[in-house]
Structure 1
Amino acid sequence: MRIVTGDDIRSVCSWPFAVEALRAGHLMQPADLRDSLIEQAGRKMLVRTAWIPGLASGVKAVTIYPDNPSQTPPMPSVQGQVLLFDEARGHVVAVLEGVDLTAWKTAGDSALGASCLARPDVSTMLMVGAGSMARPLIDAHRSVRPSIDRVMVWNRGQARAAELVAQLTRDGIAAEVVRDLDAAVARAGLISSATMSTEPLIRGDMLAPGTHVDLVGAYTPSMREADDAALTRGRLFVDSFATTVGHIGEVMIPMDAGVIAREDIEGDMHALVQGRAGRQSPEEITVFKNGGGAHLDVMIAHAIHLALEEK
């Protein structure tokens, strides 16, 4: 059994590596998935399991403590580990640092969705939220859409948005803090949202034709980042039916209200990667719900394990 640290992961991982690992995994059979979520006073423990026939199986256990980044010293809001099992014989082959793996998996998932749905000529990105996932999402999206030459950042707390913009600017990326979210939504060709919001932030009436919306943050039944108009104006896709429908407020709340139906979700990542679903015209709006799932962790963990074995 190998202990894989964050440094080990960074030694072999890149955004093209992560995106292609996920793309390859979605060419295989769908995973068998099971999740368990426990909540205490706003803090959560999430245990996710996945078995991908012919590839590997795994368990991801994480805690989500939203106040951790504001503590002294700051700590990650998400912490945990991933156990990777050999699919043929069932033994543990690796234990991987979950915080680092989560960033690669989550942003890679959104980037893979964008590679199938965002316009190839998209030039302006809006990042809604300036938390720990913001920079990975920006970098991942720019890796699959290098045409993005300007990034806008909106956050409830302006200081964190300014800090992220300063970091992007130092790295040679044209970036700006925006205060009027509606106006920024109207200007963006690709919108990625990673917040803890329980009320919609992105108003569909403001979306310009051709925009791709990547919804990352809502992961519980009470959370939403986009309003009903965004879901009805756009063509709606999810990374996994198993981790979104019946689990996440972004689709559950409008479904329960009769705003959308299960049939309005046009495809999952398997359909997108295999070319059975996707963007059909430059002017249409596309909406992708990143629901996550241990199958994504297993795909990335398996690729990392193989790459480390080959070093």
Structure 2
Amino acid sequence: MNTAIPYITDDFIENNCHFNDLVEALKDGFSNSAIEVPMRHHHDFHNPDEDKDSTLLLMPAFNPGKELGVKIVTVSPNNGKYNLPAIQGMYLYLDAHKGYIKAILDAKSLTAKRTAAASALASSYLSRKDSSSLLILGTGALSINLIKAHCSVRPITTVYVWGRSFEKAQRICDALKAESFTCTAIAKIEDKIAEVAIICAATLSATPLVFGEFLKKGQHLDLVGAYKKNTREADDQAIIKSSVFVDTYQGGLKESGDIVIPLSSGILSKESIKADLFELCSTTKLGRTSDSEITLFKSVGHALEDLVAASYFYSLFQNKKSTLF
């Protein structure tokens, strides 16, 4: 009997992801009260060669009697200079009844896909249904995934990409030439930020890139970067002008400066945060309530997303394998 543990690679995940399906799977997951998610372990550790901390994340989740998993991830902010992704890791996907490992998945693509799908899921509740334009801030591994995910839930025809390197922004646009939307690299955020329906920030910036003075009625702001308490992608004015939503209260209120700093200063209160994805997906709370409302979604990631995505890709992998025999 072959007892080898299946290994699901980044290539498989990249080539077999359909964001419409993954978004629906996440919607079902956030509606499933049986899934248990402990607070993730978040450990910063010194990285002497870079003179900048790296981070170790351990993210478990359990669907009792069915499946469980844990993601082991490192975040090394300076990896760009080595032409490596900032996020590295593996996901262990297990049987929750007998405890054996069902599969090991590369965490880089798994994380990128589930993060992008979570943003798209939030957008399906928070952006205007007629949103046709998108501005992406950041040129990392998440950027193309976020573009495709957002386009899977809204009729987007125009995409703009900004990065600290214009050349990297242009490379993203070049990689998306065959898509149904136009994609244009821009040199300054201010050139387009007031014109687009959706603004998505996925950077490692320690200081704000999105300033509330530029935001217009009806926009949706998706904040994906700023994963530490002392870093943020949007300023106080953006928070003040927006209806604020988070992926989960568990992590969203504690892990990112985009929420922690305004809470600490009194700019934002816990009570004023409108809803998290559990409440949106279970329809216990509303998302956007008017076309003029500015909505802001802060994502820090959640282990439920990893478990749902691992289950999704494991099923695809098993189906593909069965067709070979």
How far did residue 138 of structure 1 move? 0.4
- In the alignment, which residue of structure 2 is the partner of 1:39? 45
How far did residue 172 of structure 1 move? 5.1
Choose the corresponding residue for 1:176, options 176, 184, 194: 184
The total of aligned residue pairs comes to 308
Maintained 8 Å contact 1:46/1:61: yes
Q: What are the within-5 Å matches in structure 2 for residues 2-41 of structure 1?
A: 2-29=6-33, 31-36=36-41, 37-40=43-46, 41=52
SS in structure 2 of the partner of residue 187 of structure 1: coil
Choose the corresponding residue for 1:219, options 227, 244, 255: 227
How far did residue 55 of structure 1 move? 5.0
How far did residue 260 of structure 1 move? 0.5
Distance 1:54 1:26, change over 3 A: farther
TM-score scaled by length of structure 2: 0.90
Q: Say yes or no: does 1:198 pair with 2:202.
A: no
Q: Say yes or no: does 1:89 pair with 2:98.
A: yes
Distance 1:12 1:175, change over 3 A: closer
Maintained 8 Å contact 1:62/1:98: yes
Residues 248-295 of structure 1 deviation map (CA, whole Å, 9 limit, x = unaligned): 111000100011011111111011112222111111011001110222
SS in structure 2 of the partner of residue 182 of structure 1: helix
Q: Matched residues in 2 for 1:248 and 1:51: separation?
A: 24
Identical-pair percentage: 34
Return 52-61 or 101-110, whichever deviates more.
52-61
Which residue identity does 1:245 align to in structure 2? L
How far did residue 9 of structure 1 move? 2.5
Unpaired runs of at least 5, structure 1: none
Q: Matched residues in 1 for 2:65 and 2:222: separation?
A: 30
- In the alignment, which residue of structure 2 is the partner of 1:117? 126
Which residue identity does 2:37 align to in structure 1? D
Residues 52-79 of structure 1 deviation map (CA, whole Å, 9 limit, x = unaligned): 44653211111122232322xx222211
Which residue identity does 1:35 align to in structure 2? R
Q: Matched residues in 1 for 2:278 and 2:242: separation?
A: 20
Q: Matched residues in 1 for 2:164 and 2:31: separation?
A: 39
Q: Say yes or no: does 1:279 pair with 2:285.
A: no
How far did residue 94 of structure 1 move? 1.4
TM-score scaled by length of structure 1: 0.93
Maintained 8 Å contact 2:157/2:180: no
- In the alignment, which residue of structure 2 is the partner of 1:105? 114
Return 52-61 or 227-236, whichever deviates more.
52-61
Q: What are the within-5 Å matches in structure 2 for residues 278-297 of structure 1?
A: 278-297=287-306
Q: Matched residues in 2 for 1:31 and 1:13: separation?
A: 25
Q: Say yes or no: does 1:61 pair with 2:66.
A: no
Choose the corresponding residue for 1:128, options 137, 140, 143: 137
Maintained 8 Å contact 2:85/2:140: no
Q: Matched residues in 1 for 2:134 and 2:98: separation?
A: 45
Q: Matched residues in 1 for 2:65 and 2:125: separation?
A: 25
Q: Matched residues in 1 for 2:174 and 2:8: separation?
A: 32
Which residue identity does 1:306 align to in structure 2? S
SS in structure 2 of the partner of residue 281 of structure 1: coil
Q: Say yes or no: does 1:159 pair with 2:167.
A: yes
- In the alignment, which residue of structure 1 is the partner of 2:323? none
Residues 165-208 of structure 1 deviation map (CA, whole Å, 9 limit, x = unaligned): 22233545312222331342111100110001111111112111
Choose the corresponding residue for 1:185, options 182, 193, 198: 193
- In the alignment, which residue of structure 1 is the partner of 2:313? 304
SS in structure 2 of the partner of residue 224 of structure 1: coil
Maintained 8 Å contact 1:183/1:206: no
Q: Matched residues in 2 for 1:201 and 1:140: separation?
A: 22
How far did residue 17 of structure 1 move? 2.0
Distance 1:303 1:152, change over 3 A: same
Q: Matched residues in 2 for 1:166 and 1:42: separation?
A: 33
Choose the corresponding residue for 1:142, options 145, 151, 158: 151
Aligned CA-pair RMSD: 1.7
Q: Matched residues in 1 for 2:93 and 2:194: separation?
A: 43
Residues 127-178 of structure 1 deviation map (CA, whole Å, 9 limit, x = unaligned): 0111211111001100111x21111111122221122222233545312222
SS in structure 1 of the partner of residue 245 of structure 2: strand
